[in-house]
Structure 1
Amino acid sequence: MREEKKKRRVVFYQLALLHEDPERTRALELIKRQRDAPSLLSLNDALELHHAIQFVEHRAFPSSASEEEQAELLQTRGVMNRELSKYFLGLGAANFSSALDGLEREYMMSLVDLLLRYKSPQNMHKGQVVEELTAVGVPLWMLLSSKKFVEVYDAALRILLLAEPSQAEIWIQKRLVHEASDRSFLPPSLTDEDVQAWLNAYIQSERAHLNLVQVIAEAPNEMKSIVTKKIRLAAKRRAEELGEALLEDESAVVSRIAFGAAIDQLTPMKRRWEQKADGTVILHLGEKHLLKTLENLAVIENFASTLQFMEGAWLWMPSYKSELSALHQLGIDGVKAYLRGPGFERKDALTSLGLSLYHSFLEQNGVVLEEVLAWFFNNYLADEFGAAGFHYSPPTPGSSWLEKIRHLAPEMEGIAQQFTLFCQENEIDRELFEIGSGDFNWGSIPSLRANKYLIGTPKSDCNLLMWLLFNDQSGLTYISEVVSESSFERLVNTLDVAFEDLNPFVESRLQPLLDHELLSVEDGILRFPYPEQILVLHDLYAKEGVPLYRYSGSLERAAVALTSKGLLVPTSRLMTLAESHYFEYWLNKNIFSDGPELRNKYSHGNNPDPSRIAEHRADYFLLLRLMVSLALKIRDDFIYRDIA
């Protein structure tokens, strides 16, 4: 047996189809030997022959093989396959276990396929077959990767899965994890009751993984018949328990970055960031600037610039895919999770703290932010833009945080619906508005401006091109130890990269950029012939929406050119998809399952505990931040409405 394990056996793999590989010669020599001495002495011999036959099936002959030899080998296939059939049909309860002894790992998947093909082993209980296979190291995932194997060995696999709580991770990964690989199949006999018991056992097990328990707690509503409220609550409590244990574990690497906000009474500036030695990030707001800008409109503008709620044409706070690190993208998130990384947490903390601090500062100086918002909608839009008919009622002064939330949430949605009606009718007819508009989602709010944003054309090369240009995992960022950059776009713009220095792998990946005339070779050097088109695509990559309404000159022409190529398509919405998803995440579970669901949490049908004052205050400021953000987006839309 030891000699057999040391022996280098023939293995068929896809790379052998692409290159002249010595494995081809070894495979064909094996077939010739087997033809002359047809008996198969072991399971490994049979599986090796099967792999050798694959070279013939795929016409992967060595260059030295003549046409006559090739024809002869093709004719030999039938004889070899009959030898395989004879061997596998001879496997049964008496010899299956001994045949598996010494099974080569690289042959395991082939074994599963051939057992099904030849309906082998004969006269053996299916539970014993599965037990014998797993005993010699055939991994469970490999068995589950074959749909036919799962169907044939249904009951045996169900028993095996349910016997171990940790195996529930297979179901969690398949049904609840965002963008999980769907290469495994589950036994058809597995019932909802099985899964519920399985999940409960997993949640309480010592091997429960914090991220996966969190995924269970945030299961989408479509799964509520299986992942019940009780299961989600148990998972939520267990996740909190595991999280606390992780923080107490001194050997664990846990990020503990803190954030703060302060009024700077000395420095004449709008805003500055400070990062302390311990990693704490402080937002400083300049008191002198804030005192000079206490008028209503100046307060609104301070949120856009001083508190950085806006970054150019976009809201600053949403989670943008471009900000997610490769490591974070490999993490575990729920199937309907709002993907967010450290960058989102930083922006969230700083804008929350900044809003709370600025709110208090304004009150100390006789300005009530809620009344400023009422002025903005009830007066400013009509006086500045002729948009009469908006109505916003601020929360009553002195009301509790809970009462303020219950007032603000429907008011905010009402403003969004009023703006929608104004876009459609160019006025707000109160009777028409009060009839109602049915279901509402934040991504459907229209814009006053036609073709406001450009987004990637579905099923086009747009996403591929942006990934090649800007992603640090594109494989195009490294040419040599002295020629590398964080992205291919930076590589070309900062260095003179010679086309002849590229290896064949990199050359092949550049073809889409060359095909779309985004890249060219000038005097042997890689260049961007239309650099403005690269800038437009970078805006789309970074913020998931190109603000065509703010472009002019060469940038506008570049955006139009990309649209003509079929890479971009216009849309007329108040917000980009990333911005509307930000609202959806905080307010409801229409799209994401892991948000705080503030709209429904405080609806009048629910009864939040009135004693949880700190929680209600924090939630109120979350809603107030969204309300201010909505006001900023609406103002931006009106400003650019009539600009050609």
Structure 2
Amino acid sequence: MEEPAPRDRIKFYGPGDLANYLIAEEAVALLRAQPEAGRIASLNEALEIHNALEFERHDILPSALTPEERATLGLRATSLRGQLAGFFATIDDTNVAERLAVFDREYVHDLLHLINRFKIVSNVGGQRLFDALVSAGVPLWAMLADKSFVKGHDGRLRTMLLSDARYGELLVNARLLRSGSSASFLPESLSADDSQQILKDYIDSESPHLNYIEAIANAHDNAGIGLTPKVRLAAQRRLIELTQVLFADRSNVVSGVSYAVGIDPDQEEPLRDRVERTGARRLHQRTFGGRYLKSSMGRDQILANFTTIIGYMDERGLLALPSFRSEIGVLEGLRVTGADTYPRGAAYRHRDSLTILSTEAYYDFLLQEGTKVEDVIAWYFRDYIAEVFGIAGFDFAPSTASGTFLERCRHLCAEMESIAKQFALYCEDGEIDRELLEMTSAPRPWEKIPSLVKRKYLLKGENEDCDTALRLLFSDQARINFINSDLRAPSFVQLVLDNHVNYESLHHYQTGPVDWLASVGLVSVEDGTVGFRSLPKIRVLRDINTYEAAPFGHYQREVAAAEDLAGQGWLDFGSTLLSPAEASYFNFVLNKSEFTDGHDLRNRYLHGTNPNARDEKAHREAYMQLLRLTLALLLKIQDDFALHSGAAGDASRARAA
């Protein structure tokens, strides 16, 4: 048996991994140290040489290498590839178990790849090779990650999947999760009945993972992969059971976050936030100034308050309500989630809790002052846009004050949909033909509602350079964020903007990424100091990274930079009322067209599958969600009208001045 390696072995994680710059020099040193006429002695040695050769194959090499050194290294790599082929040619049915018995588990994917590449099965036989790999400890999840291996061992893998209820997690990972540790492929011989049995066995197993059960419960029905209403119902019931067990002992809950929102009648400032900590528990308290709210009772001021102090929207017309992927932390991203569930993390939950509680508090305050929020919405569509923009024909009918919250929910769902149709019709025809509107019954998908502004947003295109730049500039995991204990920041952009960064102070593995950013016109190095060639470009890319859309219609100083990025093929122009993240948020709240775990409020209330009619508390909570979304729709429409008329541009110029 081999002795444990005295050092960490070289591992190539793929051409796009930033860790490559850390170990490229080690890979080159290993290739140079291997005797040109030597022989590879062990499997781990062969696997490490293969990984080192990948650096040479993808030309990920230290920038200090001269052209002559690169050429010499290429010749050495050709020789070593021959040695690699020679080693695997010695594996046959007499020694396969011994040769595969010990290997570094980090190389498991490389092992399967090379076994297929050098056609070991022809010397060994399929069953004997499979048995040797199982005996060596190659896990089933790794086998399923290799498409060629799955194809070559179809029947054997099917039998193995059916042999243990725990393998249900592999089926969920392959078919139901947004992202697993790697891609997974299933045997073609695995039937729908097989899949259903695996899922049932997993749901009924002794200790299934809570998140995997949740993924089954939230998945779309698909009989072809064993997902039926009965299977999902079983998962939903098991999810409740597992959750109850988890939280049965409250002493196990050592941390938590809670929220409290109220109105202080004597407070003059619009908004005050504070946090109280008791051990690991946190209470976020938000109070609104009663005096300020009473001084801003005009209907236009009320809408402005929802925008600013309640926190619905920023000054450039982007809603703050959606979940944005850039906010989801690394550890949160590791959580097992269904492929069709709404991606959200702590930042979204924090904002969602505060805005819904704030909406409720402000709604009650206005009601006490004799103002109904729905009447303000009706005023905006009936009167305000006609007076300010000269647009007639819009209509919104508020629900009756005497109606129950169940009735108001149903009414508000219909009115929200009507407003969306009216706006889409106005965008397309320049007017609202009421008869034509009445003939249009099908709702318009939220992501396809048009805009009056031809180039309203910039969206990220399918461009690898753009993806790389965003990762290097803004990711808290980029290896160029930390130079030393005094020069570090959550992102490279913040590091450079907040500090004087000398190019010479960069580590050897950081110069490659920084040089690349310079080559695409984002970074400059002047007099040895690292800076940004175009701050407007950085601001545009920051918006793309943060909001998944850049508000091009509101740009002033960034216009030229934004157009340049679009000309490079990095970004595309979009012309819809809602940005992609905003449309996804509307879908999450209103329906299940995009996410299986959505609130589905529109369908529940219009199709009669809402909570018990006597549960007034549940209907009030749903009403507040629908009211928040209706107000968000109004604010987006207001922003669109203002941009189209030039009012937003005038306001932006006034702020800049």
* TM bracket, shorter-chain basis: 0.7 to 0.9
Matched-pair contact (CA < 8 Å) for 1:195–1:226: yes
Matched, 1:134 2:134: yes
Aligned partner of 1:30 in structure 2 is: 39
Separation (CA, whole Å) in 2 of partners of 1:114 and 1:224: 32
Q: Residue type matched to 1:487 in 2?
A: S
In the aligned structure 2, how far is the partner of 1:450 from the partner of 1:76?
58
Conservation of the 8 A alpha-carbon contact between 1:536 and 1:555:
yes
Residue 511 of structure 1 corresponds to which residue in structure 2?
515
Q: Tell me the distance in 1 between the aligned counterparts of 2:25 and 2:37.
A: 13
Q: How far, CA to CA, are the matches of 1:597 and 1:71 in structure 2? A: 58
Cα drift, residue 205 of structure 1: 2.2
Aligned 1:337-486 pairs, distance under 5 A? 337-436=341-440, 438=442, 440-459=444-463, 461-486=465-490
User: Matched residues in 2 for 1:57 and 1:604: separation?
Assistant: 61
Q: How far did 1:166 drift? A: 1.4
CA distance in 1, matches of 2:412, 2:161: 49
Label 1:223 to 1:634 Cα distance change in 2 as closer, same or farther (>3 A).
farther
Q: Is the 8 A contact 1:28 1:52 kept in 2?
A: no
Question: Which residue does the alignment assign to 1:272?
Answer: 272
User: For each residue in 1:177-197, what CA deviation from the matched residue of structure 2 results, as whole angstroms up to 9, or x when unmatched?
Assistant: 113355333222211122222
Query: Which residue is equivalent to 1:21?
Result: 30
**Contact persistence 1:323–1:341 (CA under 8 A):** yes
CA distance in 1, matches of 2:51, 2:603: 61
Shift of 1:613: 2.7
1:157 CA drift (Å): 2.2
1:556 aligns with 559
User: Hey, what does 1:203 align to over in structure 2?
Assistant: 203
Structure 1 residue 332, shift from structure 2 partner: 1.8
Distance apart, 1:30 and its partner CA:
3.2
Matched, 1:332 2:366: no
Confirm or deny that 1:541 pairs with 2:545: yes
Q: What secondary structure does 1:505 align onto?
A: helix
- Offset of 1:457 from its aligned partner? 3.4
Matches within 5 A, 1:479-494: 479-494=483-498
Secondary structure at the counterpart of residue 281 of structure 1: strand
Decide which moves more: 203-212 or 564-573. 564-573
* TM-score of the pair, normalised by structure 1: 0.85
Q: Does 1:632 align with 2:635?
A: yes
Tell me what 1:37 maps to: none
Instruction: Verify the 8 A CA contact 1:406 1:604 in the aligned structure 2.
Output: no
CA distance in structure 2 between the partners assigned to 1:237 and 1:250 by the alignment: 21
In structure 1, C-alpha distance between the alignment counterparts of 2:54 and 2:219, rounded to whole Å: 45
Q: 1:84-233 to 2 correspondence within 5 Å?
A: 84=90, 88-90=92-94, 99=98, 102-105=101-104, 109=111, 113=116, 117-119=120-122, 121=124, 126=127, 130=130, 133-221=133-221, 226-233=226-233
Distance (whole Å) between structure 1 residues aligned to residue 465 and residue 329 of structure 2: 22
Q: Which residue in the other structure is 1:305 paired with?
A: 308
Is the CA contact (8 Å cut-off) linking 2:10 and 2:26 kept in structure 1? no
Q: 1:421 to 1:121 in 2, by over 3 A?
A: same
Q: What is aligned with 2:655?
A: none
Q: Please name the residue that 1:34 is paired with.
A: none
Match of 1:577 among 571, 580, 591: 580
- Comparing 561-570 with 192-201, which one deviates more in the overlay? 561-570
Spell out, residue by residue over 1:368-389, the C-alpha distance to the aligned partner (whole angstroms, 9 max, x if none). Answer: 1122212221222222222111
Bigger mean CA offset, 332-341 vs 202-211: 202-211
Distance 2:81 2:479 in 1: 44
Shift of 1:352: 0.9
* Offset at residue 264 of structure 1 (A): 0.5
Tell me: CA distance 1:277–1:149, structure 2 relative to 1, closer, same or farther (3 Å): closer
* SS of corresponding position for 2:39: helix
* Contact 1:261-1:350 within 8 A present in 2 as well: yes
Alignment-mate amino acid for residue 575 of structure 2: S
In 2, the alpha carbon distance for the partners of 1:142 and 1:436 equals: 52
Secondary structure of the equivalent of 1:328? helix
Hey, what does 1:323 align to over in structure 2?
A: 327
Q: Pick from 560, 571, 581: which aligns with 1:568? A: 571
2:484 partner amino acid: S
Query: Could you tell me how far 1:76 is from its partner in structure 2?
Result: 8.9
Q: Which amino acid aligns with 1:25?
A: Q
Q: How far is the alpha carbon of 1:564 from its aligned partner? A: 4.0
Q: 1:537 to 1:143 in 2, by over 3 A?
A: closer
1-structure distance, mates of 2:284, 2:55:
63
Q: Is the 8 A contact 1:477 1:484 kept in 2?
A: yes
**Residues 341 and 595 of structure 2 are in contact (CA less than 8 Å); yes or no, is this contact kept in structure 1?**
yes
Which segment drifts farther, 413-422 or 176-185?
Answer: 176-185
Query: Which whole-Å CA distance do the structure 2 matches of 1:196 and 1:447 have between them?
Result: 45
Question: How many percent identity over aligned positions?
Answer: 33
TM-score when scaled to structure 2? 0.83
Deviation at 1:240, TM superposition (A): 2.9
Give, in whole Å, the separation in 1 of the partners of 2:258 and 2:269: 23
Q: Secondary structure at the match of 1:167?
A: helix
C-alpha distance in 1 between matches for 2:314 and 2:293? 20
Inter-partner Cα distance in structure 1 for 2:513 and 2:35: 33
Contact 2:523 2:531 in 1 (8 A): yes
CA shift at 1:280, angstroms?
0.8
- Deviation, 1:326, is 1.8
1:518-549, Cα deviation, whole Å (9 max, x unpaired)? 21111110112322322232222222222222
Which residue in the other structure is 1:619 paired with?
Answer: 622
Write the distance in 2 (CA, Å) between the matches of 1:101 and 1:573.
Answer: 57
Amino acid of the structure 2 residue aligned with 1:583 = F
Q: Aligned with 2:272: secondary structure?
A: strand
The AA in structure 2 aligned to 1:357 is A
Kept in 1: contact 2:39–2:87 (CA 8 A):
no
Contact 1:323 1:343 in 2 (8 A): yes
Q: 1:450 to 1:166 in 2, by over 3 A?
A: same
Contact 1:27–1:52 (CA under 8 A) maintained in structure 2: no
Q: Distance in 2 between matches of 1:206 and 1:134?
A: 25
Spell out, residue by residue over 1:254-310, the C-alpha distance to the aligned partner (whole angstroms, 9 max, x if none).
642001111101111211112123311122111112222233222222211221211
Write the distance in 2 (CA, Å) between the matches of 1:480 and 1:79: 43
Contact 1:274 1:282 in 2 (8 A): yes
Give per-residue Cα distances to partners, 1:399-451, cap 9 Å, x unaligned.
22222222211210110110011111111011122221745211112222221
**Which of 1 and 2 has greater Rg?**
1
Find the aligned partners of 1:498 and 1:404 in 2 and give their Cα distance. Answer: 62
Q: What whole-Å deviation, never above 9, does each CA across 1:549-575 have from its counterpart, x for those lacking one?
A: 2222x3334334433444333222222
Q: Secondary structure at the match of 1:183?
A: coil
The reply to whether residue 240 of structure 1 matches residue 240 of structure 2 is yes
Q: Deviations over 1:218-253 (max 9, x none)?
A: 113557863222222222232233333333456856
Deviation at 1:131, TM superposition (A): 5.3
Kindly state the Cα deviation for residue 318 of structure 1 after the two structures are TM-superposed. Answer: 1.0
**Alpha-carbon distance between aligned partners in 2 of 1:578 and 1:167, rounded to the nearest angstrom:** 35
**How far does the alpha carbon of each residue in 1:500-535 deviate from its partner, in whole angstroms, 9 at most, with x for none?**
111232111123421232211111101123223222
Over 3 Å counting, the alpha-carbon distance change for 1:23 and 1:155 in structure 2 is farther
Q: Which amino acid aligns with 1:637?
A: D
1:74 deviates by 9.4
Give the unaligned 5+ runs of structure 2: 13-23, 57-68, 650-657
Gaps of 5+ in 1: 32-44
Give yes or no for contact 2:192–2:223 (8 Å, CA) kept in 1.
Answer: no
Amino acid at match of 1:162: L
Change (3 A) 1:250 1:26: farther
Quote the RMSD (CA, aligned, Å).
Answer: 3.7
- Which residue of structure 2 aligns with residue 594 of structure 1? 597
Indicate conservation of the 8 Å contact 2:459/2:571, yes or no. Answer: yes
